[in-house]
Amino acid sequence: MLRELDTVGRTTARLGGDEFVGVLPGVTNDEQLDIVQDRVHVNLDTNGIQASMGGKVHTPGESGQDLLASVDGLMYVQKRERREERRVEQLSQLEPEARDMLGQVRQQLGSVGLSVKNFCELAAPDDSSF
């Protein structure tokens, strides 16, 4: 699927694991970058693949290492946003009684300065499913 980006002058490569990088000469502004990212997302979604993506237009004088670190950070922001969207979707599918109960738990935890995530980390520190 990423081969479609491998047009004249463009290169995609695997960094490791499930991380890939695309070098897109000629993409000189955020609007062009958005178009490319949207095409990749549509292509992946069509094939049942969900992906988080970071992208940035290179700033003159910026090192490759700084550019990659910036893009990596943007990818993790998107990953967190997608995770939160899934949580909201799951919460919307709960029965009203369960939503009310969860709200009460959040309120009680908040009254002692904890979030549900903090509480779960305290309750099961070795369980990464929270």
The number of CA neighbours under 13 Å toward the Cβ of 32 is 9
Reported pTM: 0.57
Closest listed residue to residue 54, CA positions, set 39, 42, 37, 31: 37
Q: Looking at beta carbons, which pairs linking 65-68 to residues 24 or more positions away fall under 8 Å? A: 68/21
Quick one: pLDDT at residue 118? 67
Quick one: pLDDT at residue 127? 53
Quick one: pLDDT at residue 15? 83
Taking the chain (130 residues) in runs of 10, the rounded mean pLDDT of each run is 60 81 86 87 84 88 91 88 82 77 83 75 58
Domain residue ranges of the chain, discontinuous segments joined by +: 2-91, 94-130
Strand partners, 16: 19
Quick one: pLDDT at residue 61? 94
Helix, strand or coil, per DSSP, at residue 51: coil
Is the distance from CB of 120 to CB of 130 less than 8 angstroms? yes
Quick one: pLDDT at residue 63? 93
Quick one: pLDDT at residue 130? 46
Tokens standing for 59? 């700033």
Quick one: pLDDT at residue 13? 80
